[in-house]
Structure 1
Amino acid sequence: MSTIQPIVGASLSSEALDMVVAAITSGEFQPGERLSEAELARRLGISRGPLREALGRLEGRLVTRTPRIGVRVIELSKRNIEDLFYTREALEGMGARLACERISSQEVARLRDLLNTDRSQPEVQAGEAYAPRSTDDDFHLSIVKAAHCEQIERLLMDQIYYQLRIHRRKSSTLPGRARAALIEHENIVIALEARDPDQAEKAMRTHLRNARLSAMAAVTE
């Protein structure tokens, strides 16, 4: 089923942005594919003004605009993807360390609930894939928010998370990766529950290092 559905709501631009992001990151639109503004506006049931505003907010993140050609889904080289993962490992490693000092008991409980929910997903249990269903259910973003560091959150959200979401689901489907990622998430939560900053940073960096290797293997395939 297509992610693009008619919009019913007050904030047309924001809803259009969410739907376009979901469509791109789910693979409905492929890297390098041209996006027809007229067709997208028709499918969303809105005028082209709010859609252009949404696409403008995604320029440099998930789409590129070329004069006389139009808008295309961003294409990342293997080197681009690898560098994004190196940057993510540094930022999220520090985020996990800070979270040990600043996370609330409620936030720790929320992470444990997310992990238990992830563990119950049929595709995770079958070892087929492990990817977040929505931003609110994103394990990594929850830890970044628990670090209560606006600079780290902004750097990750502004570009890195947008661009890597294109590749997260594909790399999570490699044999054995889903179950391994779940165990790695468990190790991160254990370190956070113990308020052990060294172990939390180490567990996060190990997890993202393995995620990078999986992503590189998926790109090569």
Structure 2
Amino acid sequence: MSQGKPQIKDAYTLILEAIDVGTFRPGDRLVESDLADRFGVSRTPIREALQRLETQSLLARDGRSLIVASLDHNQMAELYVVRAELEGLAARLAARHATTEEIRVLRDQVDEDRALVNDPPALSRANRRFHKQIHLASHNRYLVQQLDLVHRSMVLMATTSLAAEGRGEVAMNEHEAIVEAIAKRDEEAAYRALKDHISVAFVTRLKADARSNET
């Protein structure tokens, strides 16, 4: 009797992950029957998952079809502004509230992630885990919820800024500085380090987009 909800959740997660890893890219049309065949689930949970993704603005209407949404320049800029402020606040609160164990996990993540600097897709996944750990270390459930929404929208960006030449190593150094500020309980330094990290990522993305638009 309760089997429907887990199945709907699974369909939603499968489609979201496919968008996240680039299987479905902005502008791609999503067909209910094709998705049901691909993921081996019935069309009802697929239909409900698509409706949920459309409500969250991750999918858009193109006539009668649903396509993966895309972010224009202004939307991307707005998203980065909000992300920088919320991430900075998470770092500030983590400097105030993080446990010794949570700080140890963050340090271990930075050390482990350095081995991935030449593998942008893997580094991108590790980057999300790192930021999620900071969100949790803020010990503020409402902030975590808002950051989850922001990061969900980030999947609409077709590429990761970590793919830019040299960005992986620089990002790891930025992560280390963020963790050290949190470990020292320096709230202002943690806030600034995280905001600056997001700002550099945005500049890197803008430069990459400019190069890709050259004719």
TM-score, structure 1 normalization: 0.85
1:217 Cα deviation after fit: 2.0
- 1:131 matched to 2:121: no
CA distance in 2, matches of 1:145, 1:79: 29
Contact between 1:62 and 1:163, CA under 8 Å: does it hold in 2?
A: yes
1:35-114 paired onto structure 2 within 5 Å: 35-59=30-54, 60-65=56-61, 69-114=64-109
- SS of the residue aligned with 2:67? strand
Q: CA deviation at 1:64?
A: 2.1
Structure 1 residue 61, shift from structure 2 partner: 3.8
Establish whether residue 145 from structure 1 lines up as the match of residue 136 from structure 2: yes
Structure (1 or 2) with the greater helix fraction:
2
2:160 is matched with which residue? 170
Cα gap change, 1:140/1:134 in structure 2, threshold over 3 Å: closer, same or farther? closer
CA distance 1:170–1:55, shift in 2 (3 Å): same
Q: Is the 8 A contact 1:64 1:73 kept in 2?
A: yes
Contact 2:70 2:157 in 1 (8 A): no
SS of the aligned residue for 2:160 comes to: helix
The equivalent of 1:16 in structure 2 is: 11
Considering only aligned residues, what root-mean-square deviation do their CA atoms show, in Å? 2.1
C-alpha deviation, 1:19, in angstroms:
1.7
Q: Deviations over 1:108-131 (max 9, x none)?
A: 11112222221122xx1x375631
Q: How many residues align?
A: 206
Q: After superposition, give the CA deviation of every residue in 1:104-155 in whole Å (9 maximum; x if it has no partner).
A: 112111112222221122xx1x3756311596xx111110111112222122
Contact 1:127 1:177 in 2 (8 A): no
* TM-score normalized with structure 2 length: 0.87
Match of 2:66, SS state, is: strand
* Alpha-carbon displacement from aligned partner over 1:136-195 (angstroms, at most 9, x marks no partner): xx111110111112222122212x211213438432111111111111001001111111
Give the direction of change, closer, same or farther, for the CA distance of 1:61–1:168 in structure 2 (3 Å limit): same
Does residue 1:185 correspond to 2:178, yes or no?
no
CA contact (8 A) 2:92 2:187 kept: yes
Is the CA contact (8 Å cut-off) linking 1:96 and 1:200 kept in structure 2? yes
Q: Give the stretch that moved more between structures: 46-55 or 83-92.
A: 46-55
What SS class does the counterpart of residue 131 from structure 1 fall into?
helix
1:3 alignment partner in structure 2: none
CA distance in 2, matches of 1:187, 1:127: 22
Distance in 2 (CA, whole Å) between partners of 1:134 and 1:57 is 26
Secondary structure of 1:76's counterpart equals: coil
1:199 paired with 2:194, answer no
2-structure distance, mates of 1:99, 1:195: 8
